[in-house]
Structures are given as structure tokens and as C-alpha cells.
Amino acid sequence: MSTESTNLDSPEAKKQQSVIKSTSIGVYVPPAKLKLLQEAISDKSGAEYQRLSWEALKKSIHGLVNKINIPNISQVVRELFKENIIRGRGLLCRSVMQAQLFSPTFTNVYSSLMAIINMKFPQIGELLLRRLIIQFKTSYKQNRKEQCISTCRFIAHLINQNVAHEILALQILTLLLENPTNHSVEVAIGLLKECGKKLSMESPKSLHALFESLRNILNEQNEMVDDKRIQYMIEVMFAIRKDDFKDYPVVLKELDLVEESEQYTHFLSLDDEDLDVQSGLNIFKYDVDYEENEKKYNILKREILDESDSDESGSSDGEDSGDEQEEPENEETEEKKEDDQMIIDETETNLVALRRTIYLTIQSSLDFQECAHKLLKMNIKKNQEMELCQMILDSCAQQRTYERFFGLLAQRFCELKKEYVEHFEEIFKQQYETCHRLETVKLRNVSKLLSHLLYTDSISWGVFECVHLNEDETTSSSRVFLKNLLLDLSEHLGIVKLKERFSDLTLQEFFAGLFPRDNPRHTRFSINFFTSIGLGALTDDLREHLKSAPKLMQPMVLDNSDLDKSRSDKEEKKRFNFYYFGNPSFSKEITFQSDNDSICLLTFRTLTEIDTPNLK
């Protein structure tokens, strides 16, 4: 007795007892520490050991339920079967219900998990259904809409997995539509969406009666259902039914893991009054036959997981371990061969997927800042930056009218990285050269986007180097492109600032084609173009240049064959033109077109030397 009392009074024993008490209160204890405490306890059937194993079981079940998804569902199920889920069935049901309540989008995954467990342990599936029914009743009485919607969604997916009978869904729908309100109709529509396909296959007449009640609610304009949103939801529900619940399948292929013949279906209803949720299973209770129950579950676990087969395969792997030493050399040679081979994807599948992702990201964003943030999170590679800029431009061109959203988005990328500036400058040149391929609306949107980048100084004004404004090197489309671009620049900058920018001495070499001075014919064409679009003030320097340009005399050239033929017919016309031009009050440089399309440049000085006849 003295030795036992000294062991209990030792500091290690006191520390263990304090840790065990803290776990019962709910204080977090690391799993490694719990495992060490379990190993330190010699009595495996004592209350202390059972409490520690209970805490470890609770944490394991909770962690596995939280990390489940479609790709790893089979792995999580195997790990759950390794735990004693018969002892922790209350913990499992509570964890699944809590996880489904916090993340309703994974309801189909949780229902598939419970369908697999229900196939092996029907009492766990029944316990979950009882708790869901009680939870629905309490939330319905307390008017908690969100919890009602979540619970009904879980019940619907369990019906789709054949864990529960469809009579339960029909009872809930009848209760909700018996005295319809805005909230009850919304809950009913949510339930119908999830299990409507299943009800149309199992009980189509009952489903038809439910839709008739929805039709009456919509037509009679009930005072309790006066929300326009709910009425619109009813109309959408009829459209979903018309499409045969195409977007709401019964079970996804990835989650159809249990055959219908092997599933156990529970016939529970809302009218059952003896539904025991067994809330005592959620807390720790001392088990007298703990070791025997653990041994029984280990036998079941081996049968379920086929651990005996895995042990045999493990022994055979040990015999073949000698052969595996020769395999690494072959694997290294194969890896070298694979590295030498270059795989080129000529189908551009990745490029198409990238464009689709960028387009959907742009269309789903509320403002340009959110869109830029999402696109930057995509971690676009250097060779894909040009595709991003091109997709911004193409998305802008597809709009009916220009939206400033795209200009601000392109401006943000130009401010973030220098490479995007170079890409948009290259796009400016490409669009100007191929603008004849664009429709009128696309042409206007593209020109306004590029104008936005110019007047915000996101790209250099040196891009005008590719523009040669003359009759020979422009088309009707390029002139319309320039018109929209320049008018938008004058609208945002003003004619004064725009003229100052075009007069900048450091940029004159880039504007040489836009304001040509090499040929008077090209100069006049540029002046006429700017005057016709209402920006004649930008050509004051050109007009001064044209006045002060040297007076060049280009003789009139006629073909020898045409000269003899037309001399007699056109002699009087030429003399009349010379006489008119020789008027002393006319001192400007004059041009006139002869009949053979030759241009003659005449000045007042040369005209006075011509002997003009005395005409009547």
C-alpha cells in the first residue's frame, strides 16, 4: 500500500492526471502527447486510458471529415474504417452535420461518404437521419431559414444515394407548401432542385402535384408570398423541370460508389415521434467491455479493408526485393531518354485554355482592380504575356460600346510591368496595319482603348511612327481608325494640350508621317484630313511650312501620242486657264489638272511671262 500511494503522489503521476483532466475539460493536447500518455498507462481497460483514446478518436474523425473531397474520398473512407466508428458513431454524425452546415457545396461528398458507411454499418446511417429530421423540425419551428435549407439539402442527397426513402422528401415538401410563406417556398424550391430528378423517376405523380401547388401559389398571388424574388424562383423551378433537371443530376459519376442492390434504405418519416438522437453518444462514457469491443471491431475492420490480402502482398514484395536493386539502372536510362524527347503541342490546347480562363476572369470581375488582381494570381508566364494583352483588346472589341473598364485594366498592367508596355505598343502597330479586317464597332472600341493608353501615357507616343498620312499609304479603314483615335485624344486632353504634345520637339521624328513635310501633295492631304475631322488647329505649322516652302516649277508632261491628238481640241481651254491664272491679283501657287492626268505647278512669276491672248 505504501508503494502504490508513493506512485500516485509522484510528480509524473500528478502531471498525467492533470493532463487527463484538461482533456476532459476541452483543452487542446497535441496528438503526439496523447499517444505518449496512452503508452505510459499500463492499465488498458481503465477509465484514464479510455478517455485518452476517446479524445484521440474524436480528433481523428473530425480531421478526416474536414479534409474529404471528391478525389480523396476512397482514401478517407479507408482511414475512417481503421478507426472505431461504432464507438464514435455519435462523433462521426456530429462532425459530418457540422461540416455540411459550414460548407453546403460539399453536401454531395458527405452524402456519398455516409452512403458507403451506411452500407457496412446501417445503424450509423439511421442515427444520422434521425438527427437530421430532428434538426429540421426544430429549425422549422424556430424559423431559421438557412439551417432549414442546409438540412433539407443534406436529406435530399441522402435520398439520391438511397440512404433514405423518397417519402421523407415528399412529407417535407407537403409541410412547406401547405401554408406557404416566402421562407417556406424558398426552402421547398431548394429541396426540389436537389432531389427533383430522383422524385421524377420514383414518384412522378406526387412531383406533378407539388408543381401544381407551386403554380397555384404563383397565379393566385398569395399575400404570404409577396416577394418578387420568390416568384422568380418558382418560374426558374418550372424551367428546370422543363429541362428535366439537366443541371441537377441524381448522383455524380465520381460519387456513385455504392451499388443500389447493396445499399440499405431507411424508412423514416416526419410523423415518427420516437426518434431518439442518442445525444449521449457525443460524450465519453466508461465501457466495462472496452477491450473485447475493440477486438471485435478489429475483426470487422480486417474483413472490410481486406488487410489479410495486403499482408500477403507485403510478403511477396519482400521476396522480390532483390530484383528491385537492378531496376534503378533501367529507370535512369529511361528517364534520360524521356528527357531527350521534346513534346510539342501543336493543337494549342493550353493556349485555348489560357484564353478561356482570361476571358472568364474578365467577364466575372466587378471592377478593373479585382480583375487585375485575379489575373496576376494566375502567374502568367513571360511567353503568355502577349496573349493576356491580346485578350484584353479582343474582349474590349467584342463589346457593343466601349467600356472604360478595359482601358483602366490595360493601364494597370502597363504601370505594373514594362513588358506589358512593349506588348501594347506592338499591338498598336498590328491593329493599325490590319484595321481593314475589323468591323465598325470593333474598330471604334479598339481605337478608344489605344487612345486611353496614349492620353494616360501608359504607352509611348512613338507608336505614331508607323502612321504615314497620305493618299497612297492609307485606306478608308485606317483613316477611320485615326479619326476615332485623334478625336478621343482631343476629347480627353483638349485641343491645346494635344497640340502641345504634337509640337514636342523630342517626338517630331515619330510624327513625321502624321504631319508630312517632304511632299506638298502629302502635306495638303494631311491638312485636309485634320480639317475634315474638326482638328484643323493642329495643322497650323503645316500651313506655315506650305507657305514658306520653295516654289518648285514642275513642267507639264504629256505623252507624245496624246499631244498631237488633243492639241486642237484643248488649245482654247489651256489658253483660258493660263489667262485666268495670270491675273495680277492672284499670287498663290496654283495647280490644275490637265486631261492626261499630269500636274502642273504654276506660280505668279511664271504666269506673267506667258503671253496671254486678248479674249473677248
Task: Please report, in angstroms and rounded to a whole number, the separation of the first and last CA atoms in the chain.
Answer: 154
What integer pLDDT is reported at residue 341 of this predicted model? Answer: 57
CB 497 within 8 A of CB 455: no
- DSSP string covering 401-458, please? S--HHHHHHHHHHHHH-HHHHHHHHHHHHHHHHTGGGS-HHHHHHHHHHHHHHHHTTS
206 sits in which H/E element: helix 204-220
What integer pLDDT is reported at residue 601 of this predicted model? Answer: 37
What integer pLDDT is reported at residue 6 of this predicted model? Answer: 39
What integer pLDDT is reported at residue 107 of this predicted model? Answer: 95
Mean per-residue pLDDT pooled into runs of 10, the chain (616 residues): 44 53 56 69 75 88 93 92 92 95 93 94 94 94 93 95 94 93 93 94 92 88 78 92 92 90 90 86 88 90 69 46 46 50 64 88 89 89 90 93 94 92 94 91 94 94 92 92 94 92 91 90 92 92 82 44 46 40 38 38 36 38
Integer Cα distance of 602 and 590 in angstroms: 5
What integer pLDDT is reported at residue 480 of this predicted model? Answer: 94
Helices (H), 225-340: 228-242, 290-305, 307-319, 321-324, 327-340
Integer Cα distance of 46 and 37 in angstroms: 13
pTM (predicted TM-score): 0.50
Cα 474 to Cα 445, 459, 466, 471, 480, distances in angstroms: 20, 23, 11, 6, 10
- What domains can be seen in the chain, in order of their start residue? 42-281 (1.25.40.180), 355-548 (1.25.40)
What integer pLDDT is reported at residue 15 of this predicted model? Answer: 53
Q: How far is CA 115 from the centre of its chain?
A: 32
β-partners of residue 602 are 590
